[in-house]
Structure 1
Amino acid sequence: MNLSTLLAARASGGRPVRIGLIGAGKFGSMILAQAQRIDGLHVVGVADLDIGKARASLARVGWPATRFSAKTLGEAVRTGTTCVLDDAAALAACDEIECIVEATGHPIAGVRHALAAIDGGKHVVMVNVEADVLCGPILAERARQKGVVYSMAYGDQPAIICELVDWVRSCGFELVSAGKGMNFEPRYRYSTPDTVWGFFGWSDEEVAKGDFNPKMYNSFTDGTKAAIEMAAVANGTGLDCPDDGLAFPPTGLHDLARVFRPASDGGRLPRAGLVDIAASQEPDGREVFNNIRYGVFVTFKANNEYTRACFQQYGLLTDPSGWYGSMWRPFHMIGLETSVSVFSAVLRGEPTGCSREFRGDAVATAKRDLKPGEMLDGEGGYTVWANAIPASRSLAYGGLPIGLAHNVRLKRPVAKDQMVSFDDVEIERDLDVVALRRAMENAARVKTTEAA
């Protein structure tokens, strides 16, 4: 609770926190919108493959052109301005930069950028959940060995869920479940970039006027983004993904504690200790009353009668039995809050959520019957959606993570709703990231064998 105080001390000593940002899309733009208002935070460089887009993003969020006019990173450090460039590796190599924020959303690039930053002795704030769920636990271990922090991005839902989980455990309650709200109906599962706008209720004219990425929006619609984020939460908290994937029970605030408790006590969870999604839509399309579409939650249990009585005395929203309670945050403001992660890493040496073990996975699953020779098109595309399952099940199946399911060719047919395996595809590119992922899987297998 003292980050602003620590930052003020740094600023007064003439030592701003210097960062590099990779990716100037929506999330990156939100980070930049707030960065200009924070005394003691210096964005030394913004790297994006499209320099023109990056400059336009800076201008759109109110930066004067003189503030991002530095020709080199060295000039930016000397003058307190910002350099816009297309070379992410240069940020990792800049000695004065303390922390890299990876906000590209591209899993392969994100893993490479994180490795370069860690090798350069820099903290990493991984906005890129796609990269985190692909290789996060091994990246976190590399960071630990280097003495730097690898962190989830505060403001995004996984990090805020991790914060709520920490609250539950710090208070001594029994953690039962955790998750987030989301607009979802079962029919959304098979949405494609061609159909996604209809689910949002937007006309062709409205879409044409906006800067909308259909694959990105489709990833949110078909449940893939939910799978990615909940697998990341599992890896960061020790909770598990359900054996058969997320169930998306429709739930409002008043029912969180009732629904997200074990079935043995009248809830919808197969057991305690799981992540899942509180859908804001009923299967027939009706909106759930008092839903938490943009929020996050945890459910927890009193450990004795005295604590249960306190739940009632102090107005906690509980299930009918009074034993289970819920805690939630009704919103998340993504990049507008991510500076919290930067300051936590640089000033306190702590992550705001971190993938500590390979416990959950987001596995590519066929949207339709797929034939040999077809190319998979990854997250938010036409061919696959991601299923969040326990890593143990993914390892046993040889599941292909959604982060590697782009531009790979099928060797064998895969039926609709069947998970895709490594054996089903030909992988001829990005072999460095594939090797890192395989190393993470092998380490998990060894750990499981030793535990047995």
Structure 2
Amino acid sequence: MNAEIDATIGPILQVYAKQHGVILSACDGDEPGVQMNLVRWVKGMGLIPRVIGNIKGLQDPYRNPTTQKGFAEKWAQNPAMVTSFADGSKISFEQSIVANATGFKVLSRGMSRGQEYRGDIMQIGKIYDIDQVRELGGVIDYVVGTPLTKVYVLAEHEDPKQQTYLNLYKMGEGPLYPFFIPYHLVHFEVPFSIARVALFRDSVAPPLAGPVVEVCAVAKRDLKAGETLDDYGMYMTYGEAVNAQEMRTSRYLPEGLVEGCRLRRDIKKDAVLTYADVDLPAGRLSDRLRAEQYRHFTGDTWLERWLEQPHSSDSLALAH
């Protein structure tokens, strides 16, 4: 149940899991598992998923442990964890796992950035351009506010006869038919995952291969050179889901690895942080695994070469 690890270095950890004959799995009950179960059910009926969505009650990228202290205390939760829910970081990690398990992308960095949709879930397909999502093969997204729903899948059917039956069965006229689940019960559902792994060696949401969507770090406030970044769900950064190609070519700093990075320069609020903006903590295994992940899946060795160099102001350019 660690979406941050799964979204940041999950693909390379899956490589090691297979080499050692063990199962690395997400879990039922958490949103990625709930969404993937729904995707499989929809595909099993012969439909083609086009949008896989999550739903939030609140989205404010500037929330922090101070603003969330009261809510955290009320429910005996960790304020930083609650903040990662509120500022959009957690949902970005979760949707990245789903993207990597399906090959779906984001329409743009940040997904829909918390656009509100408080209408009928049966009409939610109208907010998407079917041609646009078809062109991408499918997208992951989230909205804020839809009542009595936790996750949704919008799918189409190519057979006119089956389209008629879907309309008859109160699913609407399409082309995107909505399927949804109104809850996720977290630890209550985790035993299903244990059974799937133990009995069937079945991973709940494994990546297809390398990353398709990742989570970049964005400044939550104006940041100053010399400051050391705190962790996600804290005061300095929030995460946004971004297509892996943009993440790699722009050298974005992953939100999952921000803690302990020292800023080389000032960063404006809402600017995306890059590797060129920071000095990494020395000797982190997570950085080496991330560099190996790039090389293994793309052949790109820039991060490995950069990690080997003294971190001068132009070292990123030299690695590039």
Letter in 1 for 2:129: P
Structure with larger Rg = 1
1:250 aligns with 2:116: yes
1:35-434 mapped onto 2 (5 Å cutoff): 127-185=1-59, 188-197=60-69, 207=73, 211-247=76-112, 248-251=114-117, 252=119, 253-259=121-127, 261-262=128-129, 264=131, 273-280=138-145, 288=146, 290-292=147-149, 295-316=150-171, 318=172, 321-357=173-209, 358-429=211-282, 431-434=284-287
Secondary structure of the corresponding residue to residue 275 of structure 1: strand
TM-score, normalisation: structure 2: 0.86
Once the 2 structures are TM-superposed, how far is the Cα of residue 196 of structure 1 from its aligned partner? Answer: 2.4
State how far apart, in whole Å, the 1-side matches of 2:129 and 2:148 are: 21
Tell me the percent identity: 28
State how far apart, in whole Å, the 2-side matches of 1:172 and 1:212 are: 41
Secondary structure of the corresponding residue to residue 290 of structure 2: helix
Give the gaps of 5 or more residues in structure 1: 1-126, 281-287, 448-452
**Are residues 390 and 305 of structure 1, via their aligned partners in 2, closer, same or farther at CA, if it must alter by over 3 Å?**
same
**Are residues 231 and 430 of structure 1, via their aligned partners in 2, closer, same or farther at CA, if it must alter by over 3 Å?**
farther
Query: Which residue of the partner structure matches residue 313 of structure 2?
Result: none
**Are residues 270 and 413 of structure 1, via their aligned partners in 2, closer, same or farther at CA, if it must alter by over 3 Å?**
farther
Secondary structure of the corresponding residue to residue 406 of structure 1: coil
Contact 2:229 2:263 in 1 (8 A): yes
**Are residues 297 and 304 of structure 1, via their aligned partners in 2, closer, same or farther at CA, if it must alter by over 3 Å?**
same
State how far apart, in whole Å, the 2-side matches of 1:430 and 1:328 are: 44
Give 2:297's match in structure 1, choosing from 429, 436, 444: 444
Query: Which residue of the partner structure matches residue 9 of structure 1?
Result: none
Contact 2:38 2:153 in 1 (8 A): yes
Give the gaps of 5 or more residues in structure 2: 301-320
Once the 2 structures are TM-superposed, how far is the Cα of residue 426 of structure 1 from its aligned partner? Answer: 0.9
TM-score, normalisation: structure 1: 0.62
**Are residues 348 and 235 of structure 1, via their aligned partners in 2, closer, same or farther at CA, if it must alter by over 3 Å?**
same
State how far apart, in whole Å, the 1-side matches of 2:28 and 2:75 are: 27
Q: Of the two structures, which has the highest relative contact order with CA contacts closer than 8 Å and spacing of 6 or more? A: 2
Once the 2 structures are TM-superposed, how far is the Cα of residue 391 of structure 1 from its aligned partner? Answer: 0.9
Contact 1:231 1:241 in 2 (8 A): no
Contact 1:241 1:389 in 2 (8 A): yes
**Are residues 129 and 210 of structure 1, via their aligned partners in 2, closer, same or farther at CA, if it must alter by over 3 Å?**
closer
Query: Which residue of the partner structure matches residue 288 of structure 2?
Result: 435
Once the 2 structures are TM-superposed, how far is the Cα of residue 164 of structure 1 from its aligned partner? Answer: 1.4
State how far apart, in whole Å, the 2-side matches of 1:323 and 1:175 are: 11
State how far apart, in whole Å, the 1-side matches of 2:297 and 2:267 are: 27
Contact 1:302 1:308 in 2 (8 A): yes
Contact 1:181 1:291 in 2 (8 A): no
1:15-54 mapped onto 2 (5 Å cutoff): none
Provide the aligned length of Structure 1 versus Structure 2: 296
Contact 2:230 2:259 in 1 (8 A): yes
**Are residues 243 and 197 of structure 1, via their aligned partners in 2, closer, same or farther at CA, if it must alter by over 3 Å?**
same
State how far apart, in whole Å, the 2-side matches of 1:244 and 1:270 are: 17
State how far apart, in whole Å, the 1-side matches of 2:4 and 2:263 are: 22
Instruction: Encode CA deviations 1:320-355: one digit per residue, 9 max, x unaligned.
Output: x43220111100011111111111111111111112
CA RMSD of aligned residues (A): 2.2
Letter in 1 for 2:45: C
Segments ≥4 residues shifted beyond 6 Å: none
Contact 1:177 1:272 in 2 (8 A): no
